[in-house]
């Protein structure tokens, strides 16, 4: 502490929030450095004191792919789209799916596992779920390297669409995960039931997402309902962009994207309104 900072200090007004809380996203920008450090911490400690370290980011999707290939590819003989070999067909879907599940798991617990921060210091609480979701991207990138290797092996060249489409679908994954996680993490502050419900939820969600199978197996009249699941849009999008199979962006994608935006916006409002009680009820 050398000398008193000379700049004019900002004045803060503290009063009870009445009615619907404003989203105040500007606050999030002021705390961007904290978001960065939280991501950095999450990444840094994730595989500490594990033998295999970051290899887990690869092992998990690869092993799942092997199991899926055996069960659904060999035994159940589920058809893929456009004769794409089953392993790469499922792995392409497992990447965004893995990111989504990890994000949900981490983010839903982010408030309760950082309880001492929440009860002791002020910062926009949104930082916690947001940072834990973004830190999952590192695992995604690592697992993606394997996908590139597989594409070389199977001699599949992605279309140029991948360049713009992949980041977009990735964004859609993150928005969906954030939307759901905002609801869950805020509820988790008061009701730890979320911890028990979450595994069921993700398992169920996996069934209604075309990870192990092709969405073409869903009959025509159910397609619209099916696309209410944003992750269905994401998985189809990944396959379309990387493997060149299935449909490009169409109405069902717009439905997926709208649902996911709706989740995000409602999640933000719910979170912001519960935020003021976090320190008291956690």
Partner 1 sequence: MTTAISVKNISKQYKIGAAQQKFQYNMFRDVLVDTLMTPVRIYRALTGRGMRGTAATSLIWALKDVSFDLEEGRVLGIVGRNGAGKSTLLKILSRVTEPTEGTVTVRGRVGSLLEVGTGFHPELTGRENIYMNGAILGMKGTEIDRNFDEIVDFSEVGQFIDTPVKRYSSGMYLRLAFAVAAHLEPEILVVDEVLAVGDAEFQRKCLGKMGDVAQQGRTVLFVSHNMSAILRLTQEAIVLKKGQLLKRAPTPEAVDFYLSSGQAESGERIWEADEVPANSAPFKPIALRLKDKTGKVVDTVRSTESVTVEWEYQLNAPVTGLRVGMYLSTMRGEYVFTAFDTDDAKQYEQFGARQSGRYISRCEIPADFFNEGRYSLGVNASSFGVRRYFMDENALSFNVDISGAPGTQWPEIRQGPIRPRLDWKIEKVD
Q: Which listed range, 27-35, 87-95, 146-154, 248-256, lies at the site for partner 1 (CB under 8 A)?
A: 27-35
CB of 204 to partner 1, least distance (A): 18
> Does the protein bind partner 1 through residue 220 (CB under 8 A)?
no
Residues in the interface with partner 1 (CB under 8 A) total 42
x/- mask, partner 1, residues 49-88, rule CB under 8 A, reads x---------------------------------------
Identify the residue whose tokens are 């911490």. Answer: 41
Residue 276 contacts partner 1 per CB under 8 A: yes
Comparing CB distances to partner 1, the nearer of 202 and 273 is 273
d(CA 114, CA 126): 12
Chain position carrying tokens 């996908």: 147
Helix axes 127-153, 86-108, angle to 10 degrees: 170
Q: Which is nearer to partner 1, 190 or 223 (CB)?
A: 190
Rule CB under 8 A: say whether 12 interacts with partner 1.
Answer: yes
Exposed, middle or buried, 230 (CB in 10 Å: 0-12/13-18/19+)? buried
Residues numbered 179-198 forming contacts with partner 1, rule: CB under 8 A? 187, 190-191
CB 234 within 8 A of CB 96: yes
| Measured CA distances, 149 to 45, 85, 115 (Å) | 27, 14, 41
Q: Which two tokens stand for residue 79?
A: 């058809």
Contact criterion met (CB below 8 Å) for 184 and 104: yes
Provide, rounded to whole angstroms, the least separation between the CB of residue 123 and partner 1. 7
- The Cα 54–Cα 47 span in angstroms is 6
- Residue among 6, 11, 75, 83 that touches partner 1 (CB under 8 A): 11
**Hey, what are 55's tokens?**
């290899």
Query: Of 28, 37, 206, 269, which lies in the binding site for partner 1, with binding defined by CB under 8 A?
Result: 37
**CA dist., res. 49 & res. 187, Å (int):** 31
Q: How far apart (Å, rounded) are the C-alpha atoms in residues 106 and 117?
A: 16
Nearer to partner 1, 61 or 124 (CB): 124
Q: Which is nearer to partner 1, 31 or 150 (CB)?
A: 31
What tokens does 97 get? 């799916």
Give 50 or 258: the residue with its C-beta nearer to partner 1: 50
Minimum CB separation from partner 1 for residue 261, in Å? 22
Quick check: 84 and 246 in contact, CB under 8 A?
Answer: no
Q: Which of residues 82-141 bind partner 1 (CB under 8 A)?
A: 114, 116-123
CB of 37 to partner 1, least distance (A): 4
Provide the binding-site residues for partner 1, judged by CB under 8 A. 1, 3-5, 9-17, 31, 33-34, 36-38, 40-41, 44-45, 48-49, 114, 116-123, 187, 190-191, 273, 276, 279-281
């Amino acid at each position: 502490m050398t000398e008193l900072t000379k700049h004019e200090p900002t004045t803060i007004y503290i009063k009870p929030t009445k009615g619907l809380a404003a989203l105040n996203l500007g606050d999030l920008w002021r705390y961007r450095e904290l978001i960065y450090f939280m991501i950095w911490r999450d990444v840094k400690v994730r595989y500490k004191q594990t033998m295999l370290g970051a290899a887990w980011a690869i092992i998990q999707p690869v092993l799942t792919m092997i199991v899926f290939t055996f069960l659904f590819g060999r035994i159940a003989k589920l058809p893929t789209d456009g004769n794409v070999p089953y392993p790469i067909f499922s792995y392409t879907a497992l990447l965004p799916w893995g990111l989504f599940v990890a994000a949900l798991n981490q983010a839903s617990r982010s408030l309760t596992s950082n309880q001492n921060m929440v009860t002791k210091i002020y910062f926009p609480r949104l930082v916690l779920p947001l940072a834990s979701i973004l830190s999952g991207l590192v695992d995604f990138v690592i697992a993606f390297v394997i996908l590139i290797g597989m594409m070389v092996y199977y001699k599949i060249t992605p279309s140029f669409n991948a360049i713009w489409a992949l980041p977009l679908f990735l964004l859609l994954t993150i928005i969906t995960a954030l939307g759901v996680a905002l609801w869950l993490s805020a509820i988790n502050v008061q009701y730890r039931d979320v911890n028990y419900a979450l595994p069921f939820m993700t398992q169920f969600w996996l069934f209604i997402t075309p990870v192990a199978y092709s969405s073409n197996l869903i009959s025509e009249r159910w397609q619209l309902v099916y696309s209410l699941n944003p992750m269905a849009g994401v998985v189809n999008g990944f396959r379309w962009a990387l493997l060149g199979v299935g449909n490009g962006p169409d109405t069902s994608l717009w439905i997926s994207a709208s649902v996911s935006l709706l989740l995000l916006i409602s999640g933000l409002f719910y979170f912001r309104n519960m935020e003021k009680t976090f320190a008291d009820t956690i």
